[in-house]
Homo-oligomer: A and B are copies of this chain.
Amino acid sequence: MELSNVSYVILGLLFLRPGSGYDVKQIADHSTRHFWAISFGQIYPELKRLTETGLVEVEETPTGSRQRNLYRITAAGREALSTWVADTTRGPYEVRDEMLLKLFFSDSVAPEEQRALLDAIVARHRAAADELRATGEMLRQKHAKGQLPHSPVRPEVLRFGIELHNWLADWYAGFRTKLEGEARPAPEEEVER
């Protein structure tokens, strides 16, 4: 049976630690979301499929009368995961960025609207970097409590995200400054000093 990337996200997160579908969603939203987002509408059916094919196993662990299915990756699941990771060949880098699209066509609007757009983009990337820093803090605390397995890679990937968004914010901010400079051959207006 063919596994999708969604399957591997789930498999990978359950490899890190067992959990419910809800847990998978929480962790995904603080980690893989930044390069592969998944939703409940994908998670629950996929967990069923993975259970049927024996790549994960379920244990029912209700709290009182609130149901809870605890999923664990199996040996077959770990096998499938590492086979997938080892296949180094495929994989495009796909970006969907509506704001960059607007910037690309922003010759069609007034300069101040163009600048407002750039400001919004800069703010977005600063906010993304902040969010990742907060995630990092949370992760360090969980790790101190022994709730997360050691990894040489994952904290670095987080740092990667922070540095990337900083770089992006800086690039757009620099571009905004540059545009402003070009827009004014400066007649009698006072230049900033």
Interfacial residues, chain A to chain B (CB-CB below 8 A): 5, 8-9, 12, 15, 31-32, 34-37, 78, 81-82, 84-86, 88-109, 113-114, 116-117, 119-120, 124-125, 128, 149-154, 156-157, 160, 163-164, 167-168, 171, 175, 178-179, 182, 189, 191-193
The answer to whether B109 and A82 have CB atoms under 8 Å apart is yes
Q: A116-B88, A151-B107 are in contact. Are A98 and B171 (CB under 8 A)?
A: no
Measured between alpha carbons, how far is A85 from B34 in the docked complex, in Å? 25
The answer to whether A104 and B12 have CB atoms under 8 Å apart is yes
Q: A89-B120, A107-B151, A149-B192 are in contact. Are A160 and B179 (CB under 8 A)?
A: no
Q: A35-B95, A95-B34 are in contact. Are A101 and B9 (CB under 8 A)?
A: yes
Measured between alpha carbons, how far is A148 from B146 in the docked complex, in Å? 59
The answer to whether A12 and B105 have CB atoms under 8 Å apart is yes
